[in-house]
Chain A
């Protein structure tokens, strides 16, 4: 039905992650989990898909001896999000 919408972004959890990352510089995995209320397993899978698409950058490091995963949107992710919103607008008949 919505074939023009980017399939990577037109999925609830992945879109939620990208929408969170679009307005911040970077966010920890735990922040994304808390805000999306997703399970760690599901969130990990979706973050990996976004990473494989080149939409986000995932940095794994240690902070105070604990593993920390930081996610950041890439320029390709910003463009994909902008295109996705444009597409949504045309589906919904939003006139500018």
Chain B
């Protein structure tokens, strides 16, 4: 871009330039699909292991699958450090999303102490609620419909889980993570890949 002198630069051109630059920043939403896929698949694997150990193996060590969470946390920290290094612009939307997920992450951490003391039987609906809030608000911020729908679907699943037994609650938790993280995560990844190919 050259720097046209004021007299060569009409108000119409100014207005066009302003709107094209603002449009440019609208496309600066970060690709956060790897976080959804990381946590989505980690929780899905943990649910599958718990279900297998409880229903098929009859083991009382059915919580073993959840040891995947600290491993996912290591990858999460790695992603955050890597993304910060690559970050060239801070948008208000990305900032709002980061604050939202910090609050959700802290809620997971804090409630794990609570359930550790009171028992994990009724933890699934609370976690579904956190998935729902996080993905619904995130989806609304970046205007990505699959995340919005996935987030909203968590709420009827919470209602359903109040009528379900322990094993069924694990299945419903897996469904919640599938619709709110895994499917929208893959769609979000595809959208960004598609955008990059067309730049």
Contact = CB atoms under 8 A, between A and B. Distances in A.
Contacts of B85: 63-64
B18 to A, nearest CB: 5
Main secondary structure of the interface of B (DSSP, over half): helix
Contact of A1 (B3, B7, B91, B95): B7
A12 B11 contact: no
A36 B1 contact: yes
The winner among A1, A24, A64 for most chain B CB atoms within 10 A is A24
Contact of A12 (B3, B91, B95): B3
Nearest to B18: A19
Given A10-B6, A30-B88, A92-B12, A20 B24 contact: yes
Interface string A38-76: 100010001000000000000000011000000000000
A75 to B, nearest CB: 16
B1 A16 contact: yes
30 contacts: A2-B6, A5-B6, A5-B11, A10-B6, A11-B6, A12-B1, A12-B17, A15-B18, A19-B17, A20-B21, A24-B25, A24-B90, A25-B92, A25-B95, A27-B88, A27-B90, A28-B88, A28-B89, A31-B88, A31-B89, A34-B88, A35-B24, A36-B1, A37-B1, A38-B1, A42-B2, A63-B85, A64-B85, A88-B14, A92-B11
Interface of B: 1-7, 9, 11-15, 17-18, 21-22, 24-26, 28, 85, 88-92, 95
